[in-house]
Structure formats: structure tokens, C-alpha cells
Chains A and B, each alone.
Chain A
Amino acid sequence: MARLILKNCYVEINSVDMSDHCSSAEIDVSKDDIDITNFGGAGREHAAGLQDNSFVLNLQQDFSAAEVDATLYPLWFNEVEFPVRVRPTAAGVGTDNPEYSGTCILLEYKPLSGDVGALSETSVSFVVQRDSFDRATS
């Protein structure tokens, strides 16, 4: 299997292709660590609890119509649940290009953040709701 240099990740937020304004993508999957240690041994025992997954995307801010801010602000303001999809490349979904998706909610959003002379970027965490997280290969 070839190593992957990230060049053209596919990022979709609420069904809108935002790949051309996204500079980094991170898919965080985790499960609560439940301690089920008992008197039966000399070490701790762990069990997987509830999933707590999220997508963390770094977006280059754009205040034009139908761009980054116009897309994200209504999602935060209207408290909407919406789909987020991320693939390693823009090619179709496949075993070597899995699509991670989930129904998300936007709880925090920084429309403006940056230093003088720097590119205006915003790092956004999309929290996956319930059990909607999925990894599709076809």
C-alpha cells in the first residue's frame, strides 16, 4: 500500500464541497474509557464506553457570499444537525479511499482569529452526534 501525501483531501460540510478553503483535516475517533477493575487481578481493566468523535478542520476564512463564513454561521446560529464527509483524496469512495462521515453539530465557531499580516484561518470542530459516525468503502 502506497504512503499518502495529502494533496487533495475531500471535505464536505452540509453537502457543500469546501475542499478549496480547507488547509488541514483531522478525524478524531475515541471511546470513553470505563474502568471496570475489580478484585480479580493486579492491574486495571478497561472497557470501551460511548463514542465521542469529531472532525477538526482548518478553514481559510472567506466572507464572500456562499463561502466559509456564510456557510458556517447559519449552521451555528440555527443549531442545525448537518452531514460532514471527509476523504483522503477527492477520488471516489473505495477501499483505498474511505469516506468518514457523520451527522454533526457546530457548537463553537470563531469567525475571526489571527495576527496582523497573517492569513485569516479558523479551526472548527464538528462534533458527531449519537451513533452517526461511519466509514464507507463503497
Chain B
Amino acid sequence: MRSAPKPSAAFNERRLANRNNKASGTFEVVGRKIVMGHKKGDRFTVEATEGELQALVDSGHLVRVEPEPTPVVVAATPAEKKVKNG
């Protein structure tokens, strides 16, 4: 049986240093248990310490849901417009 890859010592040090910092994020409940009053499949935004959130993710209760990326609209430069219009 393969075990999960071990994080580097530097990563572990950084994680332990930050574990009591406040963090927030959007998460989805993926485990069977009720987490913060939310059941499996619910998505919610929460603020807690990084350590609490990381433990919930590590234990398989939650997955972090990245917010939908906002599409970046880049306006065409005058030169590009000229080329387009001939």
C-alpha cells in the first residue's frame, strides 16, 4: 500500500508556524459527517484558523472550492484594431 507523499521539512515548519493564523475560504463538505452545521454536498464560506481548516481538509471532511475565475477582458490596442478592420 502506498502512503501519501511526505511534505518537506520546510513546508511542515511553515504550516506549523501559520496554524493559528486566521484564514477563510469556500469549502464543500465531502465526508459523511456534519461539519459546522453543513451536510455532505453543501458549500459554505467560513473563517477559522489555518490549522483547523487544514485538519478538516486533511481528514477528508472538506475540500477547498476555488472561486470561479473572473474572465479577464483585454481591450485591443489601436494597432490591433487597425489590422482587424483592414
> Within 8 Å of chain A (Cβ to Cβ): is B20?
yes
Q: Once the chains are docked, how many angstroms separate the CA of A8 from the CA of B18?
A: 36
B contact residues around A60 at 8 Å (CB): none
What 1/0 flags go to A78-98 for Cβ under 8 Å of B? Answer: 111111000000000000000
Q: Chain B: how many interface residues by the 8 Å CB criterion?
A: 22
**Contact across chains for B30 and A78 when beta carbons are under 8 A apart:** no
Which residues of the partner chain A approach B19 to less than 8 Å between Cβ atoms?
78-81
Q: Is B60 part of the binding interface, using a Cβ–Cβ cutoff of 8 Å? A: yes
Interface residues of B in 2-28 (CB under 8 A from A): 15-16, 19-20
- Cα separation A20 to B19 with both chains bound (whole Å): 28
Binds A, one of B49-57, B65-73, B77-85: B49-57
Instruction: Say yes or no: A82-B55 contact (C-beta < 8 A), given A66-B61, A70-B60, A71-B61.
Output: yes
15 additional A-B pairs beyond A15-B35, A81-B52, beta carbons within 8 Å, are A17-B33, A17-B34, A17-B35, A66-B31, A66-B59, A74-B58, A75-B55, A78-B16, A78-B55, A79-B19, A80-B19, A80-B51, A80-B54, A80-B55, A81-B19
Task: List chain B positions with a Cβ less than 8 A from chain A.
Answer: 15-16, 19-20, 30-36, 48-49, 51-52, 54-56, 58-61
